[in-house]
Amino acid sequence: MNLALARVMRFLQRNPNVKHLILWGNGQLGSAIVKLAQTYFQDIESLSIVDSTINQSRNEGAYQLHPVDALKHLPCDCLIIASIAYEHEILKEIKLQYASLKDRVFSLSRGTTLNDNSEAACSNDNQNALGSRIFDYPDDPLLWRALANNASEKEKALYLQCAAILQTKES
Amino acid sequence: MCGITGLVDYANGVSRSILTEFNNRLIHRGPDAQHVFLSRDNTAGLGHCRLSILDTSSAADQPFRSRDSRYWLTFNGEIYNYLELRAELEKLGHHFITSSDTEVLLASYVQWGKECLHRFNGMWAFAIWDEARQELFASRDRFGVKSLYFSLQKQRLCFASEQKALFVFRDQGIGHICPQNTGWILMYPESIESKRETLYQGIEKLLPGEYLLFDKSGIRIHEWWNTHEELERQPNQAVDANALTQLFEQACHLRTRSDVKIATSLSGGLDSSAVTSQIALFPEALEQRELKSFVGSFVGSDKDEYQWAKQVVDQYHIPHRRIPISAESAVQHLIDATLALEDITSLPVLGPWFVYQAMRDEGYKVSIEGHAGDELLGGYTRHLNVFIADLINRKSDPAALASAIIALNDSIGGDNLQRLKGNLLQLSLDPASTNLNIINEKPYLSQLLNISCGIRDHKIKERRNPLFNQRNMLFQRLYEDFHYYALPSILKTYDRLSMANSVEIRSPFLDYRFALAAFSAPEKFKIHNGKSKNLLREYFKFIPNEIRARNDKKGFTQPLGNWLGGAIGQWLLAFIQRPEFVQSALYDGKALRKILSKLIAEGKYQQVITYWPLVNLAILEQYQS
């Protein structure tokens, strides 16, 4: 288990209505999420992977493999970005080509559009709660900044440096 | 350090001429003297090629006999605490005629039998023939610094320090490349040091911490040392900085015991700087031992660390020599170095060859080096990864987590956010993942082999012990790297390259007392405030300040990508045109030639490097004899 899979696990547990799941990314992470879904979420009715390297749809037994443009017609309750390396590019493409799906996207580093780690959510948490949550979301610059607010001088500098490193250009 | 050989044949006896030919295959390990011994009835023969370091007189030549001629010893290595053992043995009535550690080793065995192994602080592979019991005893040191290979056929056992010596028996089917083993070794070359099998048919190895007994009833192999069991046996005692510092100083001091002058191989990294700086503090090192540092330098490349090494030699006024290493010089010795290593490696290792060659040319036979520092004190990025995993599992100390993330970002170049996030999110939180099974699969290599390539299980035996599995991930990772997959491969590589140039290397970090203390030590001496090897950075103040503050580990690796764009690439293009390359029995030469030609033409040198294990195999297949 790693943080990525733990997040997917928590997300699917909180969203039992996801019956048609699509993953974007046919790499190691995609394969791991397929195994997770097969093991723990047997209620999922259809499981598909789309990837730019796939030219023709095919059946892989437990899941279907499709080219990306299959997103136009595949049933979809949730689209998980199963690639951290290309997450930014994939999100851009979704915005441009598959805008109707954008509210159903789960991104590993950004959560959903209802982001658990929004600034509003963080501002309501005390230092202890933030200090605990950071271990589930060590990649979130918002959380590190929130932690810095009530930290000692030395720790504040560290947390802000961490947040700066993790800051993307868009956020 | 030396080369040892031996033959025991209860059925047919041993021929002096064959034993001599067998032994002489290791003359590079011991150019100072070569002798063989045959037992009274020719059942057993021992051979030795000597590199004279302690008591350089011929009285200490080997094979060495006990006073009553019952026991005969052939020994490769050093017993650093030989003076203390000698004093103890003298009190028990033993008399010594030499001032060598060889004589002390044999007397220790005579006195204590196999229990003597626990008393030795050193590195060794040795064999003792007992004329009275008609039995051979052989042993390797705790961590496998010195190698011992053997071939067993019914009532015959032959053994040697290097596999290439056993090739003398190729007409008997021993020593040809084994196709069945080639596959899994190619997938994970470093794993070979942890397995009984070798790349070669009929050749096996004694593993670190083992001894064997061979007599008419056959062979019995036993483990005499297991680090984890030893750690469990020790009482819970706090290991502090003072203890570690003292142990390191003692380890270094012991390793300066020599009747010849000593050198250090200094890269400018933390570990070799620690060793060189510590040794320079011993007055006799510079004065009596003529201490000199040799610095391999990839001049003009971003891999060059000479500026760092110079800080050490300048601070301590150590005579030194900078050895420039270029693609043009490296290509001259590429085949020699690969044959010296006699195994498949993930990458070619060329830099050390020139350092040891320079030492040899200046008459230095001993080099004291910084091996094992990374594996004991968390020097690799993967150690930082598992340290972060431990923090996440414990859910405590956000400040430590922040420091570690900042350090991880620095270690991966500092400008790749996606890679940093990928590292964090895909970091396994499961301790069993420290096992390295996943890297078995390399389809781009296996599909080129002419043999099927099974996946090997690389699960270490300590994982059967619940106490081991309860340890944190950093401990488990360091333990695996030290005993199984990282350090053993490095030790073998450096043994071969140094001995090919008749130089013995000594590693203070491998002093067993220091190693045990390091494994027991709190994490703050390994990774702390995002800094790796914190013991060296914070407490070894004798290392120059700027080196202690370094966070750009380079690891004395050659700029292979650059070299492939020059002389090494040209060599490779010519090599893959050879008919022998294309007609290999082991791999699809035509397909491999096509792939490599295209990659070189396109300048995709990093991808070319991934095919090195097959190129390595081709060199062994074509040039070994």
The pLDDT score that the predictor gives to residue A112 is 53
Q: Do B426 and A4 touch (CB under 8 A)?
A: yes
The pLDDT score that the predictor gives to residue A120 is 47
Euclidean distance between CA atoms B181 and B163, whole angstroms: 15
Mean pLDDT of chain A: 87
The pLDDT score that the predictor gives to residue A109 is 75
Site from A33, A158, A161, A167 to mutate, B interface, most B CB atoms within 10 angstroms? A158
CA distance A100 to chain B (A): 26
A12-17, Cβ contacts within 8 angstroms, sequence gap of 24 or more: A12/A37, A12/A40, A12/A41, A15/A78, A16/A43, A17/A77
In chain B, which stretches have pLDDT less than 70? 235, 433-441, 454-455
- Looking at residue B531, what DSSP letter applies? B
CB-CB contact of B512 with B142 (8 Å):
yes
The pLDDT score that the predictor gives to residue A114 is 39
Closest chain A residue by Cα to residue B427: A2
Nearest beta carbon to residue B405 from set A7, A131, A138? A138
Burial of B346: CB neighbours in 10 Å, binned 0-12, 13-18, 19+: middle
| Amino acid (one-letter) located at B414 | G
The pLDDT score that the predictor gives to residue B405 is 95
The pLDDT score that the predictor gives to residue B347 is 92
CB-CB contact of B270 with B379 (8 Å):
yes
The helix (H) or strand (E) run that includes residue B73 is strand B71-79
Q: Do A158 and B409 touch (CB under 8 A)?
A: no
Whole-structure pTM over 0.90, yes or no?
Answer: yes
B 394-413 near A (Cβ less than 8 A): 395, 398-399, 401-403, 405-406, 409
Q: Is the pLDDT of residue A110 over 80?
A: no
CA distance A150 to chain B (A): 13
Q: Which residue has the tokens 């009482």?
A: B235
- The neighbour count for residue B443, using CB atoms within 10 Å, is 9
Site from A87, A88, A91, A135 to mutate, B interface, most B CB atoms within 10 angstroms? A135
Give B340-362 as a DSSP string: HH-S--SS---HHHHHHHHHHHT
Chain B residues within an 8 Å CB radius of A128: none
Closest chain B residue by Cα to residue A135: B392
CB-CB contact of B453 with B184 (8 Å):
yes
- Express each pLDDT in B397-425 by its tens digit: 999 999 999 999 988 877 788 889 888 98
User: Is the pLDDT higher at A115 or at A125?
Assistant: A125
Nearest beta carbon to residue B424 from set A86, A139, A159? A139
Euclidean distance between CA atoms A33 and A28, whole angstroms: 9
CB-CB contact of B348 with B616 (8 Å):
yes
The helix (H) or strand (E) run that includes residue B254 is helix B241-254
